[in-house]
Structure 1
Amino acid sequence: MTDPINPTDDSARALAQNLLQNTRFAALAVTHPDSGAPYVARTAMLWHEGALLTLVSTLSLHTKALAKNPACAALIGEPGAKGDPLTHSRMTLMCTAHEVDKSAFKATWLAAIPKAKLYYDFSDFRLYALAVSEAHLNGGFGKAFTLGAGDLRV
C-alpha cells in the first residue's frame, strides 16, 4: 500500500501558512478534566508569531481542561460555500498550551477580532498560546502532508 502522506514541499507550507494567517476560530480538542474523555469546543483563535492564540473564559470546561492538561489539538479551516466539504483545506495542529499575558496581546487580538472589545478585559478571560509541535494538513483529496513547527513559520 502506498503511503498517503506526501513529502512536504513549498506548496504545502504555503497552504498551511495561508490557513494559519486566515484563522479566526478553531475546534479546540482537550482532555476532559474529570473523565479524561476527549472534549471539543469551538474557540476564537488566531495565529501570531508562530503560535495559535486563544482567548477563553475560566468558566468554560475547555479552559479548566487546559489548566489541568496543556496537551491539546486545534482543527482549522472551514468548507467553502459550495462543493463537497472534504475537498476544502483543513489542518490539525498538535499543541501544548500555556497562559500568556493577555494585556501584551490586546492590540493584536482586537485588530483581528474587533468584537472581542466587549469582553477582552473581563477578569475571567485568559489568553493561551498554543505551541505547535506537529501539524497534519489535508489540502483536499490526495493532498495530505505532515508538517513540523518549522514548516509553519512565515
Structure 2
Amino acid sequence: MTKTDPIRPTDDEARRLARELIDSARFAALAVLVDARPFVTRVALGTTPDGAPLTLVSDLSAHTRALRAAPQASLLVGEPGDKGDPLTHPRLTLDCTARFLAKDDALRTHYLATHPKAKLYIDFADFNFVGFEVEAGHLNGGFGKAFRLTAADLAPTGQPPAPGA
C-alpha cells in the first residue's frame, strides 16, 4: 500500500497565507535550545521595515541567553479563531537564525507603531532587538492543507529573499 504525501505543492495561495500570518502576528511561540533541551516561550513579534520577523528581548531571559549561545530557533505564528477546533486554523512554523540588531531610532519607532506598550521598557539597557532570518517554513493552512515553504516563498511581496536563501 502506497501512502500519499500529505504535503501539497506550494502555490501562491500558500505563500499569501504564510506571509499574512507573519505580517499580522503580534506575538509568537519561540523555540530555542537551553542546555540541549527544547525550550518554548511566548514573545512579542513584529517585523523589521523589510518584513523579517522581529522581537524585543531582555538579557535577563533564558531565551535571550539561548539565542546568544545558539542562534537557531523556530517561531510559531497563527492563533485559533473564536470558533471551531483550534487545529483547523492556519499556523506557520518558521525555521530561523536569530540576529541581534543594533538599537536605532528608526527600528525603535517602527516597532513601537505595532507594540506601543513596549514604550515602558524598550529603552532599558538590557533589552535588545532580535531579527530572524527565515530559512524555511512549514504551513498548516487548516485540515489537510500542509505546505513546505522556502525562504523565497516567505519573502515579502516585492522583496528579494534573504542572502543564502
Question: What is the TM-score when the length of structure 1 is the normalising length?
Answer: 0.96
Unaligned stretches of 5+ residues in structure 1: none
CA distance in 2, matches of 1:15, 1:72: 21
CA contact (8 A) 1:25 1:46 kept: yes
Q: Report the equivalent of 2:37.
A: 37
Q: Report the equivalent of 2:147.
A: 145
Residue in structure 1 matching 2:20, options 6, 18, 21: 18
CA distance in 1, matches of 2:145, 2:31: 23
What do residues 9-54 of structure 1 show as CA deviations (whole Å, max 9, x unaligned)?
Answer: 000011011101101110000000xx21000010011123242111
Name the Cα RMSD after superposition: 0.8
Identity of aligned residues (%): 56
- Partner SS for 1:131: strand
- Partner SS for 2:76: strand
CA shift at 1:101, angstroms?
Answer: 1.1
CA contact (8 A) 2:30 2:43 kept: yes
- Partner SS for 1:92: strand
Q: Report the equivalent of 1:113.
A: 115
Runs of 4+ in structure 1 over 2 Å off: none
CA shift at 1:64, angstroms?
Answer: 0.3
Unaligned stretches of 5+ residues in structure 2: 158-165
Q: Where does 1:61-100 land on structure 2 (aligned, <5 Å)?
A: 61-100=62-101
CA contact (8 A) 2:136 2:148 kept: yes
CA shift at 1:152, angstroms?
Answer: 1.3
Question: What is the TM-score when the length of structure 2 is the normalising length?
Answer: 0.90
